[in-house]
């Protein structure tokens, strides 16, 4: 029997929006120094699922439905209000390639910084350096500061760093938040998708959040649809994606 790498048991999470930012009552209370927690948002509501070794789970839903909050809770970035999360093995969380890039640093410096954030040693980054640079196609900009890069160049750099560093770490659990998708040209996107495919087929347990439904259908073994912080559908990727398209106009507004 395959072991569960991830067990999510009835987790719930609330956020609060301060009243003083949105109402006359909040402004009145703030004048007298009265603190208020403000409006309450149920971001995750009694979510449960398991993920076995080697499985790829897709998570879909509208913006603000709770998808990213779910991944951050599993990664340990957010503490849940109730319920339980158990993970087995190393966890790597990727949130949109380009996380950690600094405008005032050069491309070379950003490779070392971002690689360190992902968890690689300086020696390992040196070993992967040429591979990262060549994949990005940006070698002539190695000593150019990032604020001079176009948005497409930033995507190329960030995705190359992320893909190669994670491939080296080969974690037991990979949480991928809105990484597959737009940004660069078609050829580079296809090259990145091929690299991502090798990551997703590497034997780790993967949770993939994306609005790219074609990629979700292509890569995932199972899909859950989240709306208003709740899992409303779970099952075969093709079936859940088709139902999502049918239900899209009736789903709730974003909660954040």
DSSP character string of 36-91: ---EEEEEEEEEEEEEETT-EEEEE--TTSSHHHHHHHHHTSS--SEEEEEE-S-E
Q: Do 164 and 175 have their domain in common? A: no
> Is the pLDDT at 198 greater than 60, yes or no?
yes
> Is the pLDDT at 32 greater than 80, yes or no?
no
Question: Model confidence over 118-168: pLDDT tens digits?
Answer: 888 999 999 999 999 999 999 999 999 999 999 888 888 988 898 888 888
How many Å is the Cα radius of gyration of the chain?
20
Whether this prediction's pTM lies above 0.85 is answered by no
Q: Do 5 and 76 have their domain in common? A: yes
What letter does residue 142 receive in the DSSP assignment?
Answer: T
Q: Do 28 and 42 have their domain in common? A: yes
% helix / strand / coil in the chain, to the nearest 5? 40, 25, 30
- The dihedral sign for the CA sequence 55, 60, 64, 65: negative
Q: Which helix (H) or strand (E) holds 120?
A: none
> Is the pLDDT at 1 greater than 60, yes or no?
no
> Is the pLDDT at 189 greater than 80, yes or no?
no
Question: Model confidence over 201-249: pLDDT tens digits?
Answer: 777 899 999 888 988 998 899 999 999 999 999 999 999 999 999 888 7
pLDDT of residue 223: 97
For 143, the domain range is: 103-170
- Residue 98 forms part of a structural domain: no
């Amino acid at each position: 029997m395959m072991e569960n790498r991830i067990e999510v048991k009835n987790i719930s999470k609330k956020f609060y929006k301060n009243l003083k930012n949105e109402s006359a009552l909040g402004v009145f209370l703030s004048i007298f120094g009265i603190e208020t927690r403000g409006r309450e948002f149920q971001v995750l509501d009694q979510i449960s699922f398991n993920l076995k070794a080697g499985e790829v789970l897709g998570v879909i839903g509208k913006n603000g439905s709770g998808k990213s909050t779910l991944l951050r809770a599993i990664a340990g970035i957010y503490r849940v209000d109730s319920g339980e999360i158990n993970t087995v093995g190393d966890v790597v969380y990727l949130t949109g390639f380009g996380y950690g890039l600094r405008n005032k640093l050069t491309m070379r410096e950003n490779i070392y910084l971002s690689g360190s954030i992902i968890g690689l040693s300086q020696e390992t980054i040196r070993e992967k350096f040429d591979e990262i640079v060549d994949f990005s196609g940006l070698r002539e900009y190695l000593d150019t500061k990032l604020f001079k890069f176009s948005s497409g160049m930033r995507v190329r750099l960030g995705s190359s760093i992320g893909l190669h560093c994670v491939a080296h770490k080969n974690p037991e659990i990979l949480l991928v938040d809105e990484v597959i998708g737009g940004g660069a040209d078609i050829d580079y996107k296809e090259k990145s998708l091929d690299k991502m495919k090798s990551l997703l087929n590497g034997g780790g347990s993967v949770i993939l959040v994306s609005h790219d439904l074609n990629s979700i259908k292509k890569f995932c073994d199972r899909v859950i649809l989240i709306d208003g912080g709740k899992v409303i559908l779970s099952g075969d990727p093709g079936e859940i994606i088709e139902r999502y398209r049918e239900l899209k106009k009736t789903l709730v507004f974003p909660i954040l």
